[in-house]
Amino acid sequence: MTDLATRTAGRSVAPGLSGALRRAAPALLGYAAVRALGLLTLALWSAARDKSAYTLLTARWDSLWYTRVAEQGYGYEVRLPDGDVHSDLAFFPLLPWLERLGAAVTPLSYADAGFVVSLVASLAAAWGIFAVADHVYGRRAAGCAVLLWAVLPVGVVQSMAYSESLFTALAAWSLYAVLTGRWVTAGTLAALAGLTRPVGLAVAAAVWAAAITTWVRDRNGGEGGVPPGARRVLGTVLAPLGAAGYVLWVGHRTGKGPLGYLDVQAGWRNGFDGGVAFARFVAGRFTSFPGALAGVALTVGVALLVWLYLVGVRRGQPLPLLVYTGLVAVLALCASSYFGSKPRLLLPAFPLLFPPAVGLARLRTARSALVVCGVAAASAVYGAFWLNGSGPP
């Protein structure tokens, strides 16, 4: 493991639940304030355009697919004139299951339940991000990391009836469990993350990477006569079960074998090509003057992501975080379609925010607050503009 990981391994694990919540409370309050600003701005912007902000958050784009699965189960598909088949099997089941549960035990509709799940999950995700960053970098940097995640340009997705917030919450807490040696918890949460999005395999890979390096480094017995190796093995076995189980079920249901899920994704013209299609898309922006500005912005954005990842490597970020972040970024950037979705697909890659969070934490409180407030206002305006325009494809 890296030097930083070795240093953090000696820290005591988080205190009890109430103590951990008190420690994270300022960051969570700041996160809630940023998201409230974003939702208020969206409501005002939408009202001015005679649109419903709530509809944009709960009943557009992928939200409709999730609620349809929750209400009717799997089996719906749309055949397009060009021959493509959009099947609801592309959407992993945990969010629809929670929507169905919410609608069953409360008066909420499926869409309402999805919105509530996202709101709760976004707070859980913010807390999980705080826990991971606090464990590695300390409380002040952790608070800054949470606020930076809140003010991302597409941060409004965190409040939509989408699966990004739910997945990020499960991933963050699984990674925290890995860093603190809670292997069974880490594996269980990784399995749930794998039932949420295909990129859940990145969480499982982080658990496996940590388990292998820990096994090599440490073979000491555990407490109570149970060797830590047994818990480690159980965690690694559990970690990939969610994603693998759903993919295998889809293959069985479609009759196309273990990799049938790839055919489902192909029907959406979505696959993994190593980034070739995305590179062509970016290059195509340079064929006209307005598009060239977008091309420059995309190029700079990708370069920034690579630079932030390399900074994490140079500063000794723990291996599980590097594995997880690298796979999330690669899977997002190297998908062959839905180029406009890439910013929101990168939302779960929160460890990329840790280097700038550390830098922000070094500023005086007044200066860092001014920076966050300014970026939060810009993010709120952009989110309202985006959802009232093209929005998530």
Closest to 142 in 3D by CA, of 153, 124, 128: 128
pLDDT score recorded for residue 340: 83
Confidence grade of residue 337 (pLDDT, cut at 50, 70, 90): confident
Determine what percent of the chain is predicted with pLDDT higher than 70: 94
Residue type, 251: G
Determine what percent of the chain is predicted with pLDDT higher than 90: 80
pLDDT score recorded for residue 227: 60
**Structure confidence by residue, pLDDT tens digits, 11-51:** 444 458 888 999 999 999 999 999 999 999 999 999 999 99
The more confidently predicted of residues 218 and 375 is 375
Confidence grade of residue 216 (pLDDT, cut at 50, 70, 90): confident
pLDDT score recorded for residue 285: 85
Q: What is the mean pLDDT of residues 249-267?
A: 94
347 class by beta-carbon count within 10 Å (0-12 exposed, 13-18 middle, 19+ buried): buried
pLDDT score recorded for residue 18: 87
Asked if pLDDT for residue 2 goes beyond 80, the answer is no
Mean residue pLDDT of the chain comes to 92
Report residue 224 as tokens.
Answer: 């109570």
pLDDT score recorded for residue 323: 98
The more confidently predicted of residues 345 and 338 is 345
**Structure confidence by residue, pLDDT tens digits, 281-302:** 888 888 887 778 888 999 999 9
CA torsion sign for 230, 231, 235, 241 is positive
pLDDT score recorded for residue 5: 43
Query: Which residues, at least 6 apart from 8, have a Cβ–Cβ distance to it below 8 Å?
Result: 135, 136, 179, 318
pLDDT score recorded for residue 16: 80
Helix residue ranges per DSSP H, 106-222: 110-137, 139-150, 164-179, 183-194, 200-217
* In contact, 167 and 128? CB cutoff 8 Å: no
Closest to 24 in 3D by CA, of 141, 103, 191: 141
pLDDT score recorded for residue 339: 83
Q: What is the mean pLDDT of residues 89-97?
A: 98
**Structure confidence by residue, pLDDT tens digits, 146-189:** 999 999 999 999 999 999 999 999 999 999 999 999 999 999 99
Query: Where are the domains positioned within the chain?
Result: 25-215+226-267+365-387
Asked if pLDDT for residue 114 goes beyond 50, the answer is yes
Asked if pLDDT for residue 223 goes beyond 60, the answer is no
pLDDT score recorded for residue 212: 93
Residue that is written with structure tokens 């195509």 in the block: 284
Q: How far apart are the first and last CA of the chain?
A: 39
pLDDT score recorded for residue 220: 53
